[in-house]
Chain A
């Protein structure tokens, strides 16, 4: 909250100084929800900063009709907290729309609330398909892709590399269960065999029992459907037990914290994410330059650009139709080929943006490198058992 006040203070100062905005514009509140504390908070803070950047850049623009104020709430990546925070935000009639949720478990828990309150949201990071596809809520939209796309791409790559046997570890939230389901379907279609599936809790510390069992099943690849904190633990404990299999992750581990947590052990880990890498996005350079200029404490992380795009789209819509929830919802239904820093945004009838691009990553020398540019693709280095 301290930070929020400070940001508001800065905004206030800018507004006082800018002569064009001196003729008091109407204030409009927009919201942001993400995990600002807890294990995945780096991603939430990156998203928060990115949404904040979208608001700041807009407020600095003399041509805008309204003055925007960002209301930030913390869902802690916990469904029960998210439900409270979503209700709090949706019940505040002054807040017109929100960019919401990084964690799938929180996003899916809150869609009904947004629908009930008629509160338009644009999801900026959660990848569970059900968030947009389980219901047909006009209020719920998403700028990033779903985990179906990334798991298809994942299965295709590992099958192409000649891997046949897989063990699956997933957390038992909706997020992990979704990954398990879509990866299992995709890899079976590619002719792969799943030798064992292990559901684990999202805050588990010890995985030696599961990994010992996996060791005796001897898979070539361990697929992990979950987030960074337990991903780090599982990869480290694999090494402890002498398991020499490929660690195949999802978008949930695409975060610098994963590499920092593992050091050299991160080498050769696979991960997948919707959309192009930030620097290769149409507006990636613009985004990074402006982001760095603000000197935020944290990097934008993998989904920052999507949070920016979500907030930018919200503000665009409010500029066009005015600060009215109903009209914003109506206008969002017609978003088609809209330019944004993450590429064209087109919402289908479920409010889902069609993002066909999936980026394949492999960790090489302590960095997420695009698979096609990596030494592993060129054959200079080899993953365990790579053909």
Chain B
């Protein structure tokens, strides 16, 4: 295999990994503060991508020509709208079920995911069909042999990395971050120290859902196509990535996301069977990893949850 081809696989894997990591971060944040698994996360991403697409169509009809301006507006509208949606989900479905068994939250959000997915299909105009997503980033590319380096991919990777670094800084360097970490570590102590528990939970859900909207837009820009089922597999993969990384750990989610993308790429490329089995391969490795490290590759420091 020549170097160009290898570089191309690496680039494909990195793009995929970045999207998985962004989704996995959401799962890890929610689990961190509330110990809940929110299975509608992937479908929230779909709603985000469709919100961005609707914004795009609206702005184009309004006659705004600049791609950068349109993209910025799409990002702002989608991220804010989905952050609000995330808060609403937390307020109405997740928080009221706090004292119920964790299984209930899992089930409720699983059903909510179906509702969101079907709502997009039914209420977005011709939502059952695949929708073209505009290519708003510069389309320049350079060829190195078999490697087609695209500027838009580089921009997306950089933007994704910035978002992750930003999240990290927010959690580690700000008062809000401190509050989130305090709630994650020990809810009751945090409360007695004057942390507004409900507000912290809502903000965390807003951040996690905003990340999903960002990933949704990235998904659209990368594939130039979205459909109502976009988030379904992304949700499952993101969840698995968060689990193998170590649920509740930020670095774990990132590691898990890229690891899963690498497994899929290896499954499609390097193994001697049909590429249709790449997901079988990737998930099988995940199962093996979980058997080996039940709490994930990067374990939480507090073993209380084990």
> Contact residues of A with B, CB < 8 Å?
37-39, 41-42, 172, 198-201, 203, 205-206, 208-210, 212-213, 215-216, 228-229, 232-233, 236-237, 239-242, 257, 260-263
Contacts and interface: CB of A to CB of B under 8 A. Distances in A.
Closest 8 CB pairs of A and B: A209-B268, A261-B130, A257-B129, A208-B12, A199-B276, A199-B274, A242-B148, A232-B130
B269 interface: yes
B9 A39 contact: no
B274 A172 contact: yes
Given A212-B9, A213-B269, A260 B126 contact: yes
Interface string B186-205: 00000000000000000000
Majority secondary structure of chain B interface residues (helix, strand, loop or mixed)? helix
Contacts of A240: 150, 222-224
Contacts of A203: 229, 232-233
A371 to B, nearest CB: 25
Nearest to A197: B274
Contact of B5 (A198, A205, A206, A212): A212
Given A42-B128, A260-B129, A200 B225 contact: no
B254 interface: no
Contact of A205 (B12, B224, B233, B265): B233
Contact of B265 (A209, A236, A260): A209
A172 B280 CA distance: 13
Majority secondary structure of chain A interface residues (helix, strand, loop or mixed)? helix
Given A210-B268, A212-B8, A240-B224, A39 B229 contact: yes
Contacts of A233: 130, 223, 225
Contact of A216 (B5, B141, B223): B5
Contacts of B227: 39, 229
A262 B132 CA distance: 6
Contact of A261 (B5, B225, B265, B278): B225
Given A172-B274, A200-B276, A201-B276, A206 B132 contact: no
A209 B12 contact: yes
Contacts of A199: 274-276
A42 to B, nearest CB: 6
Nearest to A36: B128
Interface string B100-144: 000000000000000000100100001011111000000001010
Contacts of B278: 209
Contacts of B5: 212, 216
A172 B264 CA distance: 17
Contacts of A210: 268, 275
A242 B143 contact: yes
A172 B276 contact: yes
Given A41-B128, A199-B275, A200-B276, A236 B268 contact: no
Contact of B129 (A42, A172, A263): A42
Contacts of B232: 203
Contacts of A257: 126, 128-130
Interface in B11-41: 12, 15-16
B230 interface: yes
6 contacts: A38-B128, A199-B276, A203-B233, A216-B5, A241-B8, A260-B126
Nearest to A239: B224
Contacts of B234: 205
A199 B230 CA distance: 20
B279 interface: yes
A198 B230 CA distance: 22
A261 B269 contact: no
Contacts of A42: 126, 128-129
B131 to A, nearest CB: 7
A229 to B, nearest CB: 5
Nearest to B280: A201
Contacts of A201: 276, 279
A233 B230 CA distance: 11
B168 interface: no
Contacts of A206: 12, 16, 223, 264
A261 B226 CA distance: 9
Contacts of A172: 274, 276
A206 B232 CA distance: 13
Contacts of B118: 37
B9 A37 contact: no
A178 to B, nearest CB: 15
B146 interface: yes
Contacts of B150: 240
A213 B5 CA distance: 8
Nearest to A237: B223
A232 B225 CA distance: 8
Contact of A228 (B130, B222, B264, B274): B130
Of residues A209, A228, A236, which shows the largest number of chain B Cβ atoms within 10 Å of its Cβ?
A209
A5 B131 CA distance: 31
A201 B277 CA distance: 8
B225 A236 contact: yes
A157 to B, nearest CB: 26
Contacts of A200: 275-276
B138 to A, nearest CB: 14
Given A41-B128, A241-B8, A242-B141, 5 more contacts: A37-B118, A37-B121, A208-B15, A228-B130, A233-B225
Nearest to B127: A41
Contacts of A38: 128
A298 to B, nearest CB: 9
Contacts of A228: 129-130
